[in-house]
């Protein structure tokens, strides 16, 4: 995978689970809607030790070393500084990353070379992609005006001059958008040859407590992977 593509895995869909709870209270987690939908699916099928989860807003896995959460689900790679804090990373799934633009845009797709030039900032006008000339705005979650992928999706839906990247798992609940092909391929679930992908990891500070350990192990079983593969790419 080209280095420019490998950097995509830092886009960052995050989820965290609070440790401040009693046995009857749900563990609070924060993260992307794609992760939330997987968690909802899992909770309907998981038959291990009792584990209740409730979604909250937020995007930082720093809660692990601040001792305010027990688990995080993040898009990798996981940096050495994080691992040096005693964080244990378990691979969960691989998610396609979609290249999207305004629904009125009639651009069908880009070549890999065009995409790499776009991310390097070498293409700044739609004329560079064969469209009528107008400023081209590149957006992704690191953009200071876009704090999460939900906001990014709405921004792309509202701005006819914008183009950007979102996790393909977000598209099911997105406003209308034009999803672009990359070298002729679309980011479909199960398309393991699609070029833009990011890995999702379950993180814990040290070894997880027993209830979370059981859940983490379950995600790697046949039943757990069936749910993973419904939204992402699994172990196979």
> Would you call 32 helix, strand, or coil by DSSP?
coil
User: Do the domains at 3-94+198-231 and 96-182 have one common CATH topology?
Assistant: yes
The first and second tokens of residue 105, run together, are 């845009």
Q: β-strands 137-139, 71-75: how paired?
A: unpaired
Task: Look at residues 225, 227, 110 and name the one whose alpha carbon lies nearest to residue 178.
Answer: 110
Residue 144's contacts (CB-CB under 8 Å, 6 or more residues apart) are none
What does the domain layout of the chain look like in residue ranges?
A: 3-94+198-231, 96-182
| pLDDT tens series, the chain, 236 aa | 444 333 333 334 444 555 444 455 556 565 566 777 788 888 888 888 777 665 555 556 777 787 767 777 777 778 898 899 998 888 888 888 899 999 999 899 999 999 999 999 999 999 999 989 999 999 987 643 345 777 888 999 999 999 999 888 778 778 899 999 999 988 876 666 788 888 888 888 888 778 878 888 898 899 988 888 877 766 55
**3-94+198-231 in CATH: which number?**
3.40.190.10
Counts of helices then strands in the chain (DSSP H, E): 7, 10
CB 126 within 8 A of CB 136: yes
CATH architecture of 96-182: 3-Layer(aba) Sandwich (3.40)
The first and second tokens of residue 164, run together, are 């950007």
> Which residue do the tokens 């839906």 mark?
157
């Amino acid at each position: 995978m080209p280095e420019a593509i490998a950097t995509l895995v830092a886009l960052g869909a995050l989820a965290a689970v609070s440790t401040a709870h009693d046995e009857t209270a749900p563990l609070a987690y924060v993260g992307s809607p794609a992760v939330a939908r997987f968690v909802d699916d899992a909770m309907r099928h998981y038959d291990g030790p009792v584990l209740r989860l409730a979604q909250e807003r937020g995007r930082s896995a720093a809660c692990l070393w601040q001792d305010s959460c027990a688990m995080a689900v993040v898009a990798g790679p996981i940096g050495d500084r994080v691992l040096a804090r005693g964080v244990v990373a378990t691979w969960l799934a691989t998610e396609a990353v979609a290249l999207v633009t305004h629904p009125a845009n009639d651009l069908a797709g880009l070549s890999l070379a065009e995409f790499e030039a776009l991310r390097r900032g070498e293409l700044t006008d739609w004329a560079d992609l064969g469209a009528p000339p107008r400023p081209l705005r590149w957006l992704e979650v690191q953009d200071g005006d876009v704090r999460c992928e939900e906001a990014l999706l709405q921004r792309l839906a509202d701005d006819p001059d914008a183009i950007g990247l979102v996790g393909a798992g977000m598209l099911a609940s997105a406003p209308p958008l034009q999803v672009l092909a990359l070298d002729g391929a679309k980011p479909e679930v199960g398309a393991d040859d699609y070029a833009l992908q990011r890995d999702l990891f379950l993180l814990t500070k040290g070894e997880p407590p027993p209830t979370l350990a059981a859940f983490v192990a379950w995600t790697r079983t046949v039943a757990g992977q069936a749910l993973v593969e419904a939204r992402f790419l699994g172990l196979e």
